Amino acid sequence: MKHDDRSDMLARIAEEFARNAYRTGLREPDPRVHAAMARLPRERFVPPDLVPRAYEDSALPIDSGQSISQPFIVSLMSSLLRLQPHHRVLEIGTGSGYQAAVLAGLVREVWSVERLPELATQAIVRLRELDCRNVHVRVGDGHLGWAEHGPYDGIVVTCGGERVPGALLDQLAPGAHLVMPVGPEHDQRLLDVTVGVDGRPERRDVLGVRFVPFVAAAAPLRAHFELFEQQDHVGVRGFGATVAEAFAQAARGLTALSTDPGRVRERRRVDFSCGATDSQHLLAQWLDAVARTMRDEGLVFARFEVRIESDLLHATGFGEPIDATRCAREWAGFRASADAAFVGLVPEGWLAQCASAL
């Protein structure tokens, strides 16, 4: 890649701003946005075969049939948000993580929701590698926003829907901007929405755009636990919309098991797992709680797995009578595996404990 590919991209963005100013109302990009994009290696966000095209001013395909937005559009949407360094921003549709990384250089905190776990995982890894520590990614349905951390000083939706979801408007601070492509697939308009103190949204049509669809919500996961028996182990599985809820269900399952000790004693292992549509950021908390339960039972994990299946994140610990060496070996393997994205989220003490057992 040529050294000045990135400056060519920035020059083209500036031209596009000038060309579209009569529609967008912005003659040039917000200088802080422009500077953030000048610092960011876009080639790290595209598939390997598209690296030579990373600085073209065009959207490019990424995994799972999605796309990384056109640089001009990223700059325009970020500029429309009118961000300040102390702001906290919500993004819907993490995708490659590029837009989130641009925002990370502009504001205090970025919260980003992605529907597809495989994209969220890749983005988490990438953002860690680039040291974007103020971006928080979760797997979830963007129609619901991320209520715990709202209200936000800006919301950017990077997939196109029929209307602005009410939950997002509810999570927007008064006077803050929400920027989203709205309309049928072939006739989307980029809208700049603000909500006044009277609670009434005001919409401004900025530009015609083309984004991948904002996919309708999956049916909410019913919180429940399952008990199962296999030849050498009994299992407890908790499910819920959040990891905390899934864990609470799994704990209920454990209690149910403990009222039937014969079932446990005959077997050497208890398989303990949770699935949740909420994500990684709660995983550490989850692990901690499982660890405590297991220790109280005189067990440590001899095997540990984190895997993603469809839209469920599973963390499975296999408790066995203490075998610290094997435990440490498994951890070492886990750390080196492709799931490394989660390793940093594992409580530090755990790794140290395992390492010292080696």
Angle at 38 between CA 70 and CA 18, to 5 degrees: 60
- Angle of helix 324-336 relative to helix 348-357, nearest 10 degrees, comes to 120
Identify which of residues 89 and 119 has a Cβ nearer to ligand SAH in the complex: 119
String of DSSP letters for 275-344: EESS-GGGHHHHHHHHHHHHHHTTEEEEEEEEEEETTEEEEEEEEEE--HHHHHHHHHHHHHSGGGGGGG
The footprint of ligand SAH on residues 125-154 (CB under 6 A) is: 141-143
In terms of Cβ atoms closer than 10 Å to its own Cβ (0-12, 13-18, 19+), residue 129 is: exposed
Nearest distance from residue 217's CB to ligand SAH, in Å? Answer: 6
Nearest distance from residue 287's CB to ligand SAH, in Å? Answer: 25
Instruction: Decide if 69 is catalytic.
Output: yes
Distances (CA, A) of 244 to 90, 221, 240: 22, 13, 8
Based on the shown chain and the rule CB under 6 A, indicate whether residue 66 belongs to the binding site for ligand SAH. Answer: yes
Nearest distance from residue 113's CB to ligand SAH, in Å? Answer: 5
Residue from 24, 70, 75, 99 binding ligand SAH (CB under 6 A): 99
**Cross-strand pairs, 17:** none
Q: Select from 107, 100, 213 the least CA-distant residue to 156.
A: 100
Tell me how long the chain is. 358
Which of the following is catalytic: 58, 64, 69, 112?
69
The footprint of ligand SAH on residues 103-122 (CB under 6 A) is: 113-116, 119
- Angle of helix 31-39 relative to helix 5-24, nearest 10 degrees, comes to 150
Residue from 29, 93, 181, 238 binding ligand SAH (CB under 6 A): 93
Identify which of residues 142 and 150 has a Cβ nearer to ligand SAH in the complex: 142
Residue from 158, 249, 277, 316 binding ligand SAH (CB under 6 A): 158
DSSP letter, residue 267: S
Buried b (16+ CB within 10 A) or exposed e, 185-200: eeebbbbbbbbeeeee
DSSP letter, residue 190: E
Q: Residue 303 has which token pair?
A: 């095997």
Site string for ligand SAH, 240-279 (x = CB under 6 A): ----------------------------------------
Residue from 92, 193, 246, 274 binding ligand SAH (CB under 6 A): 92
Nearest distance from residue 163's CB to ligand SAH, in Å? Answer: 13
Identify which of residues 94 and 293 has a Cβ nearer to ligand SAH in the complex: 94
Chain residue whose CB lies nearest ligand SAH: 95
Of 89-97, 166-174, 233-241, 347-355, which part binds ligand SAH (CB under 6 A)?
A: 89-97
Identify which of residues 209 and 354 has a Cβ nearer to ligand SAH in the complex: 209
What residue type is 14 in one-letter code?
A
Site string for ligand SAH, 189-228 (x = CB under 6 A): -----------------------x-xx-------------
Question: Distance between CA 213 and CA 342 in Å, rounded?
Answer: 28
Nearest distance from residue 53's CB to ligand SAH, in Å? Answer: 15
**Omega within 30 of 0 (cis) for the link into 47:** no
Nearest distance from residue 280's CB to ligand SAH, in Å? Answer: 15
Based on the shown chain and the rule CB under 6 A, indicate whether residue 89 belongs to the binding site for ligand SAH. Answer: no
Distances (CA, A) of 13 to 27, 28, 254: 11, 9, 57
Of 91-99, 202-210, 233-241, 278-286, which part binds ligand SAH (CB under 6 A)?
A: 91-99
Based on the shown chain and the rule CB under 6 A, indicate whether residue 180 belongs to the binding site for ligand SAH. Answer: no
Residue 9 near residue 1 (C-beta atoms within 8 A): no
Active site members? 69
Where along the sequence are the contacts to ligand SAH (CB under 6 A)? 66-69, 92-93, 95-96, 98-99, 113-116, 119, 141-143, 158-159, 212, 214-215
